[in-house]
Every structure is written in C-alpha cells, then in structure tokens.
Amino acid sequence: MTDDAAREAYFREGHRAIRDYYLVDSASPYRQSGRTGGAKHWEITRCCIAEAVNADGDYLDLGCANGLLLESLLRWCDERGFSITPHGVDFVPELVELAQQRLPDYAANFHVANAFFWQPPQRYRFVQLLLDAVPPADERAYVARVLREMVASPGRLVVSIYGQGTSATPEVAVETLEDLGFEVAGATACVSASVAWIEKTGADLESA
Ligand SMILES: C[S@@+](CC[C@H](N)C(=O)[O-])C[C@H]1O[C@@H](n2cnc3c(N)ncnc32)[C@H](O)[C@@H]1O
C-alpha cells in the first residue's frame, strides 16, 4: 500500500501531466486519448482490445479519456458480432465532457471521478483498466477491488499495458497480472499494446 500523501502526490502529478498532454491539440481526438498519429495508427495500437469481448453487455473503461476507445470498440465489437453499451470514468472533467459529446446517446454513462476511489452505480460485464492509473504499490488492491465491486458475474476484467512498440506481446500483461497474484484467462497483443483478461464467475464472487 502507498501512504495517503504519496498516493495524493501521484494522482496530482498524473492529473497535471494528462491535462498538459491530452488537451493541447483540440483538433486531434487521438491526442485526447493519449496517442500520437492518426486513425490508422490508432487502430493498429488498440484494435486487439476487442478480442477480449466475447458477449453482449456493458463495457466500462476506467480512464476513458475522450471516449475514443469506447467509440472504436462499439464498431470493432459490432464487426465481431457483439453489442456493447459504453460507460466511462476519468478524473479530468474536460475529457469526460469530450467523451459525452462523442457519445451523446450514452452521456449519462460517463463520470468524473478518480477510478481508485470511485463507487460504481452498477456492475459491468466488461471493465477495462490501466495499471498506471494508480501507484505501483496499489496495483494489486486496485485490481482486486475492481474485480470485487465493478465486474459483473459472469464478467471479465481487461487489463491493457501500453508502450512496448511493435514488439508488444501478450506475455507482458500476463506476467504482470500473474506477478500480482491473479489468474489470467486470456491475452492478446497489437502494436504497442499488451492485453490480458481475468474471468469472474459466480464461484469466485466472494473470493475476488
Ligand atoms: C492512456 S489514456 C486511456 C484511454 C483509453 N482508455 C485507452 O485505453 O485508449 C489514460 C486515461 O486515464 C485517465 N486516468 C489516469 N489515472 C486515472 C485515475 N486514477 N482515475 C481516473 N482516470 C484516470 C487519464 O486522465 C487518461 O484520460
């Protein structure tokens, strides 16, 4: 566990860095989701996340930025035969507003909050998170709480790790989750993204 002052400093610095980088170019929806480049680069660095979706249902993106990933997943999942309902949380209000403008039919599903502390109004068939949303010492507690309090049963927690370039492999996310003590059900990778998921079933409802 991180002490409260160190955790607050981590969130404060993360919030400042995100605002400085994501909000400087209002013409680029990719930049507002943390990526350089255009549509093609966006697609090859995120498309594999849709492979984690194996059913219709609610999809919560913890750290949703401007909602571009959710908008893309709506299309990519539809192409794979699955219908998702997007939900998002982000601690930068301007990004949540952009997500609501991007997905106006789902505006009520977006919340301004710190995902580490957020109390969800419901559970979700799919929840996606990035571990760097919390200090390293809080990663295990964060994953455990999201599994326990946010993922439906049955449901799936999808963990993405970005930034390994063209050599990204599923093993990066698998080994990270296993090192934290979680059993991995599946994994994939695309350019710059390693993605693994944890399955939640009725049997582990109490133990998660
Ligand atoms: C790299 S973007 C991810 C966008 C999208 N989810 C994706 O995977 O492409 C990370 C987002 O997480 C948000 N974020 C980081 N830490 C957070 C926290 N503790 N609570 C809520 N949002 C957080 C940032 O504001 C930023 O918009």
pLDDT at 166: 85
User: 4-204, what's its fold?
Assistant: Rossmann fold (3.40.50)
Query: Domain residue spans in the chain?
Result: 4-204
Tens-level pLDDT at each residue, the chain (208 residues): 679 999 999 999 999 999 999 999 888 999 999 988 899 999 999 999 999 999 999 999 999 999 999 999 999 999 999 999 999 999 999 999 999 999 999 999 999 999 999 999 999 999 999 999 999 999 999 999 999 999 999 999 999 999 978 889 999 999 999 999 999 999 999 999 999 999 998 665 444 4
Q: In the chain, count of helices (H) and strands (E)?
A: 6, 7
Residue 208's pLDDT is 42
pLDDT at 101: 97
Per-residue pLDDT at 114: 98
pLDDT in the model for residue 118: 98
SS3 annotation, 70-106? HHHHHHHHHHCCCCEEEEEEECCHHHHHHHHHHCHHH
Beta carbons of 22 and 68 less than 8 angstroms apart: no
SS3 155: strand
Given this model, what pLDDT does residue 207 score? 47
Residue closest via CA to ligand 1's atom 24 equals 63
pTM: 0.96
- Least Cα distance to 189 among 208, 172, 206, 207 occurs for 172
Q: What pLDDT shows up at residue 1?
A: 64
- Separation of CA 203 and ligand 1 centre (Å): 30
Tell me, in angstroms, the distance from the centre of ligand 1 to residue 134's CA: 10
What pLDDT, on a 0 to 100 scale, did the predictor assign at position 18?
95
Contacts of 40 (CB under 8 A, 6+ apart): none
Give the binding-site residues of ligand 1, using a 6 Å CB cut-off. 11, 14, 18, 33-34, 46, 61, 63-65, 69, 89-92, 95, 114-116, 130, 133, 160
